[in-house]
């Protein structure tokens, strides 16, 4: 393979940056849907963000400190594991939405602040919207946000694995 894609895949630092930027975009999109479009996330939606937050932090540190090829390979391994975790969470959540898997028992919203009394509790119960993990808040081309997260994470997993393969081949060819 030649051209820009080959150059991208040949440089672990560029791959690390790409994975970090895509995770940042996914988190930005999640916050946009939540804060601008007012689509409240369920428990599983929030859990799906955790791997991306970890990726953003790791890629930032790696781009600053990971100068050696071996350390960059280690970072790509961790990124691949994080993307596998994210893919699994996305598939599970999409499966819950489609009724393929049972959702967690506690997936019904975020905890409300403690009520001062019965009147406050009643008011909270009347105004709090419970977000179910079984209902997709939004779909595009038949996939929910959980499904799109699974696909994006799977793509990033593939990028990390291709980068690992290429970096390992380069290490094998380099003099000891």
CATH number, position 161: 1.20.1550.10
| Residue with the two structure tokens 């403690």 | 114
Poorest-pLDDT segment among 22-31, 65-74, 118-127, 146-155: 118-127
Indicate the number of domains in the chain. 1
Provide φ and ψ at 140, rounded to 5°: -135, 125
If one compares 127 and 100, the residue with the highest pLDDT of the two is 100
**pLDDT for 166 beyond 70:** yes
If one compares 70 and 53, the residue with the highest pLDDT of the two is 53
Query: Quick check: 163 and 59 in contact, CB under 8 A?
Result: no
pLDDT category of residue 50 using cuts at 50, 70 and 90: very high
Which structural domain, as residue segments, surrounds residue 78? 4-173
Provide φ and ψ at 157, rounded to 5°: -60, -45
Give helix 145-173 / helix 12-35 axis angle, nearest 10°.
170
**pLDDT for 36 beyond 70:** yes
Q: What is the pLDDT of residue 173?
A: 66
């Amino acid at each position: 393979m030649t051209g820009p894609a080959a150059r991208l895949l040949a440089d672990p630092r560029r791959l690390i940056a790409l994975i970090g930027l895509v995770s940042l975009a996914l988190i930005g999109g999640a916050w946009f849907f939540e804060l601008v479009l007012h689509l409240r996330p369920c428990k599983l939606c929030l859990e799906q963000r955790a791997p991306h937050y970890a990726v953003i932090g790791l890629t930032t540190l790696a781009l600053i400190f990971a100068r050696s090829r071996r350390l960059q390979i280690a970072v790509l391994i961790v990124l691949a594991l994080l993307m596998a975790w994210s893919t699994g969470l996305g598939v599970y959540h999409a499966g819950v939405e489609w009724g393929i898997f049972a959702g967690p028992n506690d997936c019904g919203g975020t905890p409300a602040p403690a009520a001062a009394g019965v009147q406050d509790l009643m008011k909270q119960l009347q105004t709090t919207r419970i977000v179910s993990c079984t209902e997709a808040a939004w779909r595009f081309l038949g996939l929910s946000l959980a499904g799109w997260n699974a696909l994006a994470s799977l793509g990033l997993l593939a990028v990390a694995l291709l980068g690992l393969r290429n970096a390992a081949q380069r290490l094998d060819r380099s003099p000891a």
